[in-house]
A and B are shown apart, each in its own frame.
Chain A
Amino acid sequence: MSEGAVIDRIVGRGVPVRGNDIDTDRIIPARYLREITFEGLGPHAFEDDRRALNGAHPLDDPRFADAGVMVVNKNFGCGSSREHAPQALLRRGIRAIVGESFAEIFFGNCVAIGLPCLTTTPEHADALQALLEEAPDTDLTVDVEAERVVTDHGDYPAAVPASAKASFLTGRWDALGQLLENTDEVRATSARLPYLTGFGGESS
């Protein structure tokens, strides 16, 4: 029931968002976490950064308006565990993120919603960003299977951890279906936990 689409490659234009340690508060400010659905988050992605830059943020640049691939730097998505951050990017049309490194909870949240994050070297991230800044109409092919980003101007290695890669290529990135499969094993695990069984006393 939670089999999703196979995600093996994403083709589209890109948008460079430069900077290390971009936290999830910046990706989606906390005031939007008061919504009880994710639906309306897309337009608010990076809202405060965009307002501060007064139109100069890449997400406000018409040349990047239809970008599906975001190219970022180090430790992207650090801080709060809010899934609202990748949800906002997804709902804004982002289908893959390529960067130097990703914070762990953010990365996992992206896998769970079918948004691949690929890691590349600082040099390649910078080269890709520079390429997009110069030639925004460049088409990118993010190849999850081959772990590469392919463009007319060059080819960049971009890694995906084995577990995430397997999840995307089998369409099983939404874990719930698998977690629901084996209720007997789950019960057996809980039955051996001391704190659920009276710590081995007679009351258990």
Chain B
Amino acid sequence: MANTLLDTVWDLHTVRRLPNGETQLFIGLHLVHEVTSPQAFQMLAERGLRVRYPERTFATVDHIIPTDQQQRPYADGMAEQMFAAIEENVRANDLPFFDRSTGRQGIVHVIGPELGLTQPGMTIACGDSHTSTHGAFGAVAFGIGTSQVRDVLATQCMSVAKPKLRRIEVNGRLSAGVFAKDVILHIIGSLGVQGGVGYAYEYGGTVLDAMSMDERMTICNMSIEGGARVGYVNPDATTEAYIEGREYAPAADDFQRAAAWWRSLASGPGASYDDVVVMDGADIAPMVTWGINPGQVTGVDDVVPSPEALDGPDRAASEEALEHMSLEPGRAIAGIPIDVAFVGSCTNARLSDLHEAARVARGGRVADGVKALVVPGSQRIRAEAEAAGLHEIFREAGFEWREAGCSMCLAMNPDKLQGDQICASSSNRNFKGRQGSPTGRTLLMSPAMVAAAALAGEVADVRQMVAS
């Protein structure tokens, strides 16, 4: 029977089976950012250890970096302290560090692929749950906590149990105005926010085959929102074309040998899975969340569901969500008024995302009273977007054009909701308080839908706006 990519990559990186039954897994690429690493470096220092494979460890700053002004020292003294900590830690351990002065700074899950660091067949770890993003390349990528960041810094290994594998196949075609974000929200809505616990997700089918790498990254990024720590897409010609020529990609003859190896990793046609789910892309509408987790989601042409249709705990969860959101069951999703529009995050701040949002924003005007911001995923994307004139389209329409960072996805920098503002957001989490105000409200959607909502001042069906 043919192996899956997960089997092959897992076996290749297995150092040994630990006494507790977990695998000691070698990590081929470790990405580090300012927020989940200082305690790990501290624990390392306390034990007299150094970073074991500094050449496989790369750092940047993204979570708390301001996206409006960049003057040091930062107004936020705690942010300044956190920056000083990572600067000292990368210096003391001689790690490559993509800070703003390099022109390669950005959200860790954006710059890994952008620099060609992320490649098929690797195991990748980072102290951030959205590390699953890198699976878009056929890597096996884990979000880890700070103790495991310490483990990987000290040993380049982690202790981990091999997950089961579910193949999620999306076939057919997507309608115009339906994007990768809608596909993954649809998947999470169908399988639930804990449906993937204990599983890795392998995404495939004709819809995934036709997707660009940016789109596949959006899909894999939100695997964790469905409970799956790992999500991946088998590498193919699209993967190779993306990687070729990037800074850390194999060059010349190495690239040809690399590509041959990458192709050999893909799960074979006869591979066996613990579960298979098949969906039809034609069934997917532009999606909008109405609750406080990403599984509480429906089509823009639908209504807020009634908790009465649900049982026991699900019903209670739904009632709690509607209370927080101040939404009535049965009201149309389209037309929910918004206060803030946010295009950004490791889910949807890549160049193609900005193009899609700009296509909607072009020639329009952000509605009165709506604060709209566009936060590119990296300095390089920002520069590329400016070369294409996107910043002018956004500014003319009334969007703020920001510097790169995580920004209002998790509101660790000054970009926060105020009070119970409602935000149309291209990010990944609509948890209570996620965007910086405990009573703030988040509606997750695609970047094009965010732009449409910004212009309309309310949730709007982007299919109608693009058509008109």
Contact = CB atoms under 8 A, between A and B. Distances in A.
B197 interface: yes
A101 B432 contact: no
B276 interface: no
Nearest to A107: B197
A83 B12 contact: no
B429 A83 contact: no
A154 to B, nearest CB: 21
Interface in A91-138: 101-105, 108-109, 112-113, 122
Contacts of B81: 36
Interface in B411-468: 411-412, 429, 431-434, 436, 438-439
Contacts of A196: 28, 56
For chain B, the bracket of interface size reads 35 or more
B121 A81 contact: no
Interface string B1-18: 000000000001111101
Contacts of A73: 313
B261 interface: yes
Given A34-B78, A189-B13, A194-B258, A178 B143 contact: no
Interface in B25-64: 26, 28, 35-36, 38-39, 42, 47, 53, 56, 63-64
Of A1, A23, A104, chain B has the most CB atoms within 10 Å of the CB of: A104
B364 to A, nearest CB: 32
Contacts of A102: 197
B39 A38 contact: yes
For chain A, the bracket of interface size reads 35 or more
Given A30-B411, A48-B438, A195-B121, A25 B227 contact: no
B257 A175 contact: no
B305 interface: no
A200 B193 CA distance: 41
A23 B313 CA distance: 16
B433 A26 contact: yes
A19 B320 contact: yes
Interface stretch (B100-108, B152-160, B329-337): B152-160
Interface stretch (A8-16, A54-62, A141-149, A179-187): A179-187
A78 B129 CA distance: 10
A83 B143 contact: no
B417 to A, nearest CB: 12
B161 interface: yes
A157 interface: no
Contacts of A203: 254
A78 B194 contact: yes
B95 to A, nearest CB: 17
B275 to A, nearest CB: 16
Given A175-B151, A186-B156, A34 B412 contact: yes
Contacts of A109: 145-148
Contact of B20 (A81, A101, A105, A166): A166
Contact of B13 (A84, A167, A179, A193): A193
Interface in A148-204: 161-164, 166-167, 170, 172, 174-176, 178-180, 182, 185-186, 189-190, 192-196, 198-201, 203
A44 interface: no
A108 B157 contact: no
Contact of A186 (B15, B22, B78, B438): B15
A89 B200 CA distance: 28
Given A81-B129, A178-B19, A30 B26 contact: no
A31 B451 CA distance: 28
A180 B154 contact: yes
B127 interface: yes
Contacts of B14: 189
Contacts of B42: 36-37
A104 to B, nearest CB: 5
Nearest to B255: A199
A6 interface: no
B21 A162 contact: yes
Interface string B177-209: 000000000000000011001100000000000
A80 B427 CA distance: 13
Given A122-B313, A180-B155, A186-B155, A79 B438 contact: no
Interface string B306-323: 000000011011001000
Of A34, A51, A52, A186, chain B has the most CB atoms within 10 Å of the CB of: A34
B227 A104 contact: yes
24 contacts: A19-B317, A23-B293, A25-B431, A37-B42, A75-B193, A81-B144, A83-B146, A105-B129, A108-B144, A108-B145, A112-B145, A163-B161, A172-B19, A175-B18, A175-B159, A182-B24, A186-B15, A186-B26, A190-B53, A193-B13, A194-B121, A194-B258, A199-B257, A200-B257
Interface of A: 1, 19-21, 23, 25-26, 29-31, 33-38, 48-49, 51-52, 73-75, 78-84, 86, 101-105, 108-109, 112-113, 122, 161-164, 166-167, 170, 172, 174-176, 178-180, 182, 185-186, 189-190, 192-196, 198-201, 203
Given A75-B197, A79-B224, A103-B197, 7 more contacts: A19-B317, A26-B432, A34-B78, A34-B79, A36-B82, A83-B36, A189-B13
